[in-house]
């Protein structure tokens, strides 16, 4: 499938609604940092501006005009409570290790820090490799870059004390950690769309 990140969360939970303004503000801050660093972040189709909207949610991608896009990253805005349990939203974003991967990973990590008991993250990357030194850290020939751990720590002053990446997510039918260097640029399954993995009610 290519280098991919995965996340699951509870969009109807009161804690998510409470954290939502901070998630919006902090994602904007991450994107601003990326722009200053020369990382192109665009709207969900790879063009225009990222979507950061209280009602519409969060959607962004790499820049299609520079062939630096892949799947869009998406977060739902808080949803009304439903009877009978807490719906779990689970999704994925294949980045092909393009530069905007850092923004995806940093946003995921920040959400986990804000909601450690209800925003779960997984990745084909490793906590002490790609998440520490950037998506190209699998290749010793590549210079080390800023990883999501460093960026989130620098911007917000906190990172998890342990590895928060899960081998599996609740309600999802995939297993993370299956992609290494062999990202296939001809594999266009779900390209540009991101993806919803199963939604379940807890």
What value does the mean pLDDT take over residues 112-131? Answer: 96
Residues shown for the chain: 202
Q: What is the pTM of this model?
A: 0.87
170 band by pLDDT with thresholds 50, 70 and 90: confident
- Strands across the sheet containing 119-123: 119-123, 4-9, 87-94, 195-201
Give the pLDDT score at 161.
83
Q: What percent of the chain has pLDDT over 70?
A: 83
- Tell me the H-state helices in 48-162: 101-114, 130-133, 148-156
Give the pLDDT score at 19.
98
User: For residue 141, is pLDDT > 70?
Assistant: yes
The DSSP code for 185 is T
**Which one is predicted more confidently, 166 or 84?**
166
Candidate from 74-78, 88-92, 137-141, 187-191 with smallest mean pLDDT: 187-191
Half-sphere exposure in the Cβ direction for 26 (13 Å, CA): 24
CA distance 60 to 67: 15
Per-domain residue ranges of the chain: 4-197
What the block records as the tokens of 188 is 């266009």
Give the pLDDT score at 172.
60
Half-sphere exposure in the Cβ direction for 119 (13 Å, CA): 22
């Amino acid at each position: 499938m290519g280098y991919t990140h995965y996340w699951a969360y509870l969009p109807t939970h009161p804690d998510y609604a409470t954290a939502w303004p901070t998630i919006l503000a902090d994602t904007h801050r991450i994107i601003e940092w990326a722009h200053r660093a020369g990382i192109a972040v665009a709207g969900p189709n790879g063009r225009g501006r990222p979507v950061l909207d209280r009602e519409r949610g969060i959607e962004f991608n790499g820049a299609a005009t520079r062939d630096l896009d892949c799947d869009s990253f998406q977060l739902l805005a808080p949803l009304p409570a439903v009877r009978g349990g807490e719906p779990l939203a689970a999704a994925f974003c294949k980045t092909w290790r393009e530069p905007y991967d850092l923004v995806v990973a940093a946003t995921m990590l920040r959400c986990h820090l804000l909601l450690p008991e209800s925003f779960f993250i997984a990745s084909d990357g490793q906590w002490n490799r790609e998440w520490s030194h950037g998506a190209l850290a699998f290749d010793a020939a590549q210079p080390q870059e800023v990883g999501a751990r460093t960026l989130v720590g620098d911007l917000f002053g906190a990172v998890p004390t342990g590895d928060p990446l899960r081998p599996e997510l609740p309600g999802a039918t995939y297993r993370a950690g299956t992609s290494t260097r062999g990202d296939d640029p001809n594999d266009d399954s779900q390209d540009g769309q991101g993806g919803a993995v199963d939604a379940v009610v807890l």
